[in-house]
Amino acid sequence: MAWADSLPLLIVAGSIVVLVAMVVWAKVHPLLAFVLVSAAAAFGLGMPAAEVAAAIRKGMGDILGALTIVIVAGAMLGKLVAESGAAQRIASALVASCGPARMAWAMAATGLVVGIPLFFGVGFVLLVPIIFAVIAGAGLPLVVVGLPALAAMSVAHGLLPPHPAPTGLVATFGANMGLTLLYGLVVSVPAIVIGGPLFSRTLSGIKAKPLPGLIADPKPEEALPGLAVSVVTALLPAVLLVVSAGASLCVAADSPLAGVVAFAADPDVVMVVSLVFAAYTLGIARGTPLVAVMHTYSAAIVDVASILLVIAGSGAFKQVIVSTGVDARIAMVLESLPLDPLILGWLVAAAIRVCVGSATIAGLTAASIIAPLVAGGDVEPNLMVLAIGAGSIFCSHVNDGAFWMFKEYFNVSISDTLKSWTLMESIVAVVALAGVLLLDLVV
C-alpha cells in the first residue's frame, strides 16, 4: 500500500491511541476526549475546516436520536424494579426454589432476569447488597455463590439491549433490536453457565468477608410486589422486542398490518410501553403516588447521563470517519485480513477494553472501526453486535471501575480479584464469541 493510501489509516489508528491515552492516563472525560480527537482526525484527514463542527454535531445527533429513549427508559425501568423490591422478590423466589445446593444457579438466573433491565453499575450497587443479605445465612462461600450473578449481569451489559453498548451497536450497524436480543439470549446462556456456576466452583478457596455496611437490610415480605408481577415487569421489554421481531418476519412488507407491526416493533415504543406498565404495576397499583414513581424515574436519569455523553462522543468519531471517506479504505484493509470478520470485531473490542477499561467505550469505539465492514454486507449485523459486545467485556482489570467495585464489595485481595472477577470476565467473553461463531453457521 502506497504512503498516500496508508496515511489516512495511520491517522485513524493514531487517533485511537490518543483517545486511549486521554481517557486512561490524562483522565479526560470521554465525551471531551472523543470530540477533541474527532476534530483533530477530521483536520488530519483533510476535511474542510468549515465542515468539521457540523460533522461532529451530525454524528452526535444521529446516534443520540436513535438511542436516547431506549437507554433512558431502560434506566428508569431498572431503577424502579430495584427500588420497588421486585428484584429482591425475584432473587428470594429463585433461591427458595433452588435450595442451598443450587444457590449459585439461582444467583445466575437472578443476575440475568434482573440484569436485563438494570444497567450494570446500578445493578451492582443495588443488587449485590441484596445478594449478600439473601445468602448470608446459608453458610456458603460468598464468591462461589455471588460471582454467577455478576457474570450474568456482565453478559447482559455487554450483549443485550437495552444496555448502552449493544443498543449503540444496533444503531451503528443497522441491526434489528429484537433479533439481536433473541440471538443474544441464545449466546448468553452458555456463557453465563460456564463463566458463572461452573467456574465459580473452583473459587471455594477465596474467602470473602463483605463489610457490614455493604449488606442491605431486605425489605419485609409484605412490602414486596408479587412474584408474577415482578418477573413480568422486569422482562416485559425483552418479551415485547422478541415477539415483535418475530411478527416482523411473519408479516409481508405489503400487508396492511405491516405498518402496525413496524410501529409496535420499534424499540422506543416498546420501552415507553414497558415504562408505563411498570409505573402502574410496581407503583400506582401498590399505592405508591405517581409523583414518587416519577421521582424514581428522574433519579435514573442521573445514573445514565454520563453514559449518553460517551455514546454521543463515539458518534462524532464515527461520523468523521464516514464523512472523510476513510470508512471505505478501512473496509478494504479489514476484508483483506485472513480473519473471520466476527473474530476481528471481537479482537478490536477486546484490545480497546484492555486498554481503556470501559466496556461501553470499547464497544462503541470498535464499532467505528468495524462499521465499514458491516456496511459492505459481508457479515450479519446482529451477530457483529454480539461479537463486539463479547469482546468489550474481556479481561476486566485494574483500569476498570467494576474491578474495584468487586474487590471492595467482596472485600478480597487484588490477587483474588484477578483470579475470580478478571478470569470470569475473560471466560464469558470467549464463550460468548464461540456461541456467536456457532450461531453464524445457522443464521
Residue 131, pLDDT > 80, answer: no
Kindly list the distances between the CA atom of residue 162 and the CA atoms of 106, 369, 373, in Å, as whole numbers in the listed order: 23, 22, 24
pLDDT tens-digit profile of 388-424?
A: 999 999 998 877 878 888 888 888 888 999 999 999 9
Higher pLDDT, 188 or 74: 188
Q: Per-residue pLDDT tens for 320-333?
A: 888 888 877 777 77
Q: What distance lies between CA 154 and its chain's CA centroid?
A: 8
Give the model confidence (pLDDT) of 25-49 as tens digits.
888 888 899 899 999 999 999 999 9
Q: pLDDT tier at 103 (50, 70, 90 boundaries)?
A: confident
Residue in 277, 237, 266 with CA at minimum distance from that of residue 74:
237
Within a 10 A sphere around the Cβ of 411, how many other Cβ atoms? 14
Query: How many angstroms separate the most distant Cα atoms in the chain?
Result: 72
Q: What is the pLDDT of residue 117?
A: 80
Share of the chain above pLDDT 70, in %: 96
Categorize the per-residue pLDDT at 284 as very low, low, confident or very high, splitting at 50, 70 and 90. Answer: very high
Sorted by where each begins, the domain ranges of the chain are 61-302+325-354+365-394+419-440
Q: What is the pLDDT of residue 1?
A: 47
Give me the pLDDT at residue 155, please: 96
Q: Which three cell numbers stand for residue 431?
A: 464463550
Q: Is the pLDDT of residue 334 over 50?
A: yes
In the prediction, which pLDDT does 281 show? 96
- What average pLDDT does the chain have? 87
68 has pLDDT over 90: no
Residue 178 has pLDDT above 80, yes or no: yes
Q: What is the pLDDT of residues 378-393, one digit of tens each?
A: 789 999 999 999 999 9
Distance of CA 141 to the CA centre of its chain: 28
Angle between helices 227-250 and 258-265 (to 10 degrees): 140
**Grid cell 443479605 in the structure block, residue:** 133
Q: Number of helices (H) and strands (E), helices first, in the chain?
A: 21, 0
CB 139 within 8 A of CB 43: no
213 pLDDT band, cuts 50/70/90, is low
Q: How confident is the model at residue 3 (pLDDT cuts 50, 70, 90)?
A: low
Per-residue model confidence (pLDDT) at position 220 = 86
Average pLDDT, stretch 48-63? 93
pLDDT tens digits for range 232-264: 998 888 888 878 877 877 887 778 888 888 888
Looking at residue 362, the DSSP 8-state letter turns out to be H
Which of 287-291, 310-314, 365-369 has the highest mean predicted lDDT (pLDDT)?
A: 287-291
User: Is the peptide bond prior to 48 cis by the omega test (within 30 degrees of 0)?
Assistant: no
When mean pLDDT is compared across 33-42, 76-85, 182-191, the lowest value belongs to 76-85
Q: Which residue has the higher pLDDT, 289 or 78?
A: 289
Give how far Cα 410 sits from Cα of 141, 213, 276, 399, 407, Å.
11, 12, 36, 18, 6
Query: Cα Rg for the chain, rounded, in angstroms?
Result: 22
- Residue among 231, 260, 194, 195 at smallest CA distance from 110: 231
pLDDT tens digits along 346-358: 999 998 888 778 8
CA–CA gap between residue 370 and residue 312 (Å, rounded) = 18
> Under 8 Å CB-to-CB from 15, ≥6 apart: which residues?
37, 38, 40, 41, 44, 317
Nearest CA to 371 among 403, 419, 323, 406?
323
Q: Who has greater pLDDT, 114 or 225?
A: 225
Tell me how long the chain is.
Answer: 443
Q: How confident is the model at residue 215 (pLDDT cuts 50, 70, 90)?
A: low
